[in-house]
Homo-oligomer: A and B are copies of this chain.
Amino acid sequence: MRKDGRKNDQLRDMTFHLDWVSAPEGAVLVEAGNTRVLCSASLTEGVPRWRRDSGLGWVTAEYAMLPRATSTRSTRESVKGKLGGRTQEISRLIGRALRAGVDYQALGENTIEIDCDVLQADGGTRTASITGAWIALQRAIKVGKTNGFIPGEPLKDSICAISVGIIDGEPRLDLPYEEDVRAETDMNVVMTGAGKLVEVQGTAEGAPFSREELSQLLDLAASGCEALTRAQLFAAQAPQGARVTLVDGVVA
């Protein structure tokens, strides 16, 4: 039994507040346990200079954390005047993950900028960001298609992500902060709705890990991503402003 009462292969309860803010073309407030991330997708015509006249679109992402999303306050990167390595690394990961599910030709010469701002952090902020970002992306694309900006169907498949890790020798799914800091091995897995791998990032925080352990973690991640995919597809059909919840892996 884990501290928060979950089984090792159980996701935290999640809620997706669709269109929680109204300015962006697509937006969702994701709650995964105590982790809370506001994902928004901004659709604009045109692409960066290096991509002009290619007929192809572009998707990019930025991740950031409010200074007091965590138990002690961290200095704002805008005040420090530079982006930290962790921030850039996660921003790059989110962008790469989403791009794996996008057909640039069908997007046309349009840019979608994803912003994932962590309002409260309790582990799994990068994976919640990816899962939520896809929902924001999907909603922005729907707007772009309705408005005639986007010529085709740019979504090849849904993209979601989850963290897994080995804590006290046991593989566990969806780590809160308390488990994350104690994990011997920590892994983030990004998958498509069809169950293929997009990104695998496993790190030995304590002792190095074996191929068997890696395999167990991937199994866990796959089962978590299946549930996340169900929630995402449900959200994709939900009306403006709806709230989608995932309780013990079941969409409510």
Q: Which residue numbers of A lie inside 8 Å of B, CB to CB? A: 21-24, 27, 34, 36, 38, 40, 42, 44, 62, 64, 66-71, 73, 76-89, 91-92, 96, 100, 113, 115, 117, 119-121, 157, 187, 191-192, 194, 196-204, 207-211, 214, 218
One complex includes copies of this chain to the number of 6
CB-based contact A62/B76 at 8 Å? yes
Q: Which residues of B contact A197 (CB under 8 A)?
A: 202, 204, 208-211, 214
**21 cross-chain CB contacts under 8 A:** A22-B34, A23-B68, A23-B69, A27-B68, A38-B119, A66-B117, A67-B115, A77-B78, A78-B87, A83-B85, A85-B92, A157-B208, A191-B208, A196-B209, A196-B210, A197-B208, A197-B214, A199-B202, A200-B200, A200-B202, A201-B202
Cα distance, A77 to B86, chains bound together (Å): 17
Cα distance, A137 to B203, chains bound together (Å): 21
Cα distance, A88 to B93, chains bound together (Å): 13
